[in-house]
Amino acid sequence: MAEQRYQAVLAVISDGLSISLVAEKVGVSRQTLHAWLARYEASGLEGLVDRSHRPVSCPHQMPAVVEAALLEMRRSRPYWGPRRLVFELAKRRVGPVPSESAVYRALVRAGMIDPALRGSSPVTWCTTSSCDSSG
């Protein structure tokens, strides 16, 4: 693939062919060929090699320092839930302070909360006969 790109770039630079003609011949858009030219001028042959489409970073991911502090607090106080942990993180100025839902997801990832148990306290319904006898 890089060889095809290199041939297209050379056709424009060395042979002086028009970008439209070379792009049509190679089967790519003019914008793509312009991008190849810019990458070739900036990085040489290395710029024409296939690159990963994966994002460089995930800007909304919780920083490792915050997650470590969060998990340490939860280990020392296992009865604290996400709301209290957010409050304590803010109080201790560990930032940026994540949302309660982000804290909950971090605790689930770490295996400190089982989502299947959430809200699973037994509900007992009072029927008329059992309410009358107890009341």
Separate counts of helices (H) and strands (E) for the chain? 7, 0
Q: What's residue 56's pLDDT?
A: 84
pLDDT over 80 (residue 132):
no
Segment 92-126, tens digit of pLDDT: 998 899 999 999 999 999 999 888 877 666 666 66
Q: What's residue 130's pLDDT?
A: 59
- Encoded amino acid at 28, one letter: V
Compute the mean pLDDT over every residue in the chain, rounded to the nearest whole number.
88
Tokens of 30: 């003019």
Segment 57-98, tens digit of pLDDT: 888 889 999 999 999 999 999 999 999 999 999 999 988 999
Taking alpha carbons only, the member of 130, 120, 89, 121 closest to residue 106 is: 89
